[in-house]
Amino acid sequence: MLLQSSVDGKRLIYQSDRHRDGIYLAELRSGSTEPNVRPLMVDDWFNYPRDWTQDSKSLIFESLRDAKRVILRKTIGTELAEVLVSGSENYRWPALTPNGDRLLFTVSPTADVADPSKRLMTMAKDGGARFPLLAGFYTYHCGHTPSSGCVVAEVEGPQLIFSVLDPEKGKGAEIQRLDTDPNRDWSLSPDGTRIAICDENWIRVVTVADHKVESLPHRGNWTGAERVTWAADSKHLFATAWSDHYSQAILSIDPSGKVDVLNEITEGSGWLEDLRASPDGHYLAFTNRIFERNVVMLENF
């Protein structure tokens, strides 16, 4: 904040900086690399897409409202969002189970990401009793087909450990351990067969069945993949990455590493993150952080 007062002391000018985290939808048209992008809603809350309902008609998202994290559902084409989980604590990272009947989410007393008292909870998708699954900080994703299952990741030293997740019993058999930054984003394919992880070089893929780890072929001048999600076909990926000419983009990446740019912004004009593709392949939801800078004048203060 920069301050400057008038000579007579009756006026004060200052610079006000803020940002807004809004959810946008990219409408994925077959054969097009330039999707129509529009805001999911217009408000001043901080919103982050987390999952889709199986019919692809509604987005499950997390929102910071009045200093508390809550979980909501927004049906495409409707004006208002429906609150699914709220209360005296903070509720984050919602994920629907593969058959769509239960909701997984994280609860903590504070909004601090590093809060050690986090609990992974489960409840019926439309509400009801909440049951604890795991204590501690975990990340998790579920597939979009009944047989796809769920995967949970936990941090142990410099490793990110992936395991099977039973939505009723908790953590199951270990899948793979990776030496990587534990804060790296990852995603489970809709069919539950593969895990994609952003790493310091590009993207790695773990095959759930045989635990095999491979690096995705890297083409072009895009580096620093930060966010990743699978497309509906469980073959292509969407990822955010940076170029060597100071721009960030959402990329569509095929199994051979071929890249198409879906949406690109210049450095400083925004920040793209939190990608979630709909099961029917029609939409890609993402967060766009918009930075605002205003000059404000106060008189007679």
CATH of the domain at 142: 2.120.10.30
pLDDT higher than 70, residue 292: no
pLDDT higher than 80, residue 132: yes
Q: How many CB atoms lie within 10 A of CB 184?
A: 20
195-216 pLDDT tens trace: 999 988 899 999 999 999 999 9
Instruction: State the amino acid at position 214 in one-letter form.
Output: E
Count up the domains in the chain and report the number.
1
Q: pTM here?
A: 0.88
Instruction: State the amino acid at position 116 in one-letter form.
Output: P
pLDDT at residue number 244: 73
Name beta bridge partners: 77.
Answer: none
Residue 163 belongs to domain spanning? 3-299
CB 152 within 8 A of CB 161: no
Q: For residues 125 and 131, give the distance between their C-alpha atoms in angstroms, rounded to a whole number.
A: 13
Which pair of structure tokens corresponds to residue 31? Answer: 């054969």
pLDDT higher than 70, residue 242: yes
- List Cα–Cα distances, 87 to 96, 113, 127, 188, in angstroms: 20, 18, 13, 29
pLDDT band at 47 (very low <50, low <70, confident <90, very high): very high
Q: Alpha carbon 160 to chain centroid distance?
A: 18
Cα dihedral 232, 185, 51, 176, rounded to 10, equals 70
Which pair of structure tokens corresponds to residue 116? Answer: 């050690």
pLDDT at residue number 283: 96
Which pair of structure tokens corresponds to residue 111? Answer: 């909004």
149-189 pLDDT tens trace: 999 999 988 899 999 999 999 999 999 999 988 889 999 99
80-123 pLDDT tens trace: 999 999 999 999 999 999 999 999 999 999 877 677 789 999 99
Cα angle 198-204-206, degrees, rounded to a multiple of 5: 120
The residues near 6 (Cβ < 8 Å, ≥ 6 apart) are 12
Which pair of structure tokens corresponds to residue 147? Answer: 């047989």
